[in-house]
Amino acid sequence: MFTGIVEELGSVVSMERRGDGARLRIGCSTVLSDAFAGASIAVNGVCLTAVDLRPDSFAADIAPETMARTNLGDLRPGRRVNLERPMSASGRLGGHIVQGHVDGTGEFLGLSSIGNDNWWLRVGVPEELDRYLVWKGSVAIDGISLTIASMESRVMGVTIIPHTFEKTTLGGYQPGGRVNLETDVLAKYVEKLMQGRGSDN
């Protein structure tokens, strides 16, 4: 489990296509301090298994499903990515419960200054995810735990504070780009329970 608190900005070293999947290599340092082959590391909010560890990088194999559902297939050498290790049993839940299981991608619409180094982020949301996103609810955007400040006509608005802007990839996005979205898992459990309850009546 992750919390959506980005630990490090990594850099894509290589993206090697392998059929419908790929092998990704990420240059980094902090998340390697206690890493081992088979460890989980979230890359832009996608839980990947680290392999072929080196002093300054790790590799991860990306399955075809992950290539189709996330923006990892859009990555090119030199691109920065958000990295996070799983939360330890004694750690603090600083963001919210993030599984690293991306539900789909949204469209980056824009990032505009609202003063004092704060920013307003707008993301277009696919119809199938809209019902899980609510005002003041939690969402992970490219692995970053954020609070939804507005939700209207499938456009999500989020306030980005200076620390988040500085320590994540958000400042480098262009309109029309894809961002990974993971909705709050609790909403999906509630939906499933309510559906089952309805069928019993």
CATH number of the structural domain 104-191: 2.40.30.20
- List per-residue pLDDT tens for the chain, 201 residues long: 999 999 999 999 999 999 999 999 999 999 999 999 999 999 999 999 999 999 999 999 999 999 999 999 999 999 999 999 999 888 888 889 999 999 999 999 999 999 999 999 999 999 999 999 999 999 999 999 999 999 999 999 999 999 999 999 999 999 999 999 999 988 888 888 998 776 555
**Catalytic status, residue 187:** no
Please report, as a single letter, which amino acid is at residue 138: S
Establish whether 49 is a catalytic residue: yes
- Per annotation, catalytic residue among 22, 47, 60, 140: 47
- CATH 2.40.30.20 in the chain is located at 8-84, 104-191
Pick the CATH number of 8-84 from 2.70.150.10, 3.90.1150.10, 2.40.160.60, 2.40.30.20: 2.40.30.20
Catalytic residue (choose from 33, 113, 147, 150): 147
SS (H, E, C) the chain: CECCCCCEEEEEEEEEEECCEEEEEEECCHHHCCCCCCCEEEECCEEEECEEEECCEEEEEECHHHHHHCCHHHCCCCCEEEEECCCCCCCCCCCCCECCCCCEEEEEEEEEEEECCEEEEEEECCHHHHCCCCCCCEEEECCEEEEEEEEECCEEEEEECHHHHHHCCHHHCCCCCEEEEEECHHHHHHHHHHHHHHHHC
- Whether 164 is a known active-site residue: answer no
pTM, to two decimals: 0.93
Token digits for 124?
């277009």
